[in-house]
Amino acid sequence: MRIDSALRTYLETFRLPGEAQKINRIMESFGKHYHTQCPGLFKHSDGVYVLAYSVIMLNTDQHNDQVKTKMTVEEFIRNNRGINGMCVLVFLCVGCM
């Protein structure tokens, strides 16, 4: 399953809390589980965590009316370059089988 689909499935089961520390722990847990289920995609669970957290931040950026300047695709890719030594688009297009 691709990481974006896995994250969507995971987050459909509950509402994320507003506290950053709780979100951090939830995303760490997701990262460890996804890395276990798809061991060949990421070198470490930290890479899954960083990308998943970044996707949540992108979602907030795109759908929050209080954010006046929206992040572009180029900015998102630049912010996440080097995760696992690869382009972020690879992870959004490839999933474990």
Residues that are catalytic: 19
The closest alpha carbon to 79, from 96, 57, 48, belongs to 57
Distance (Å, rounded) from C-alpha 6 to C-alpha 42?
14
CB-neighbour burial class of residue 96 (10 A; exposed 0-12, middle 13-18, buried 19+): middle
Count the residues in the chain: 97
For residue 95, the SS3 value is strand
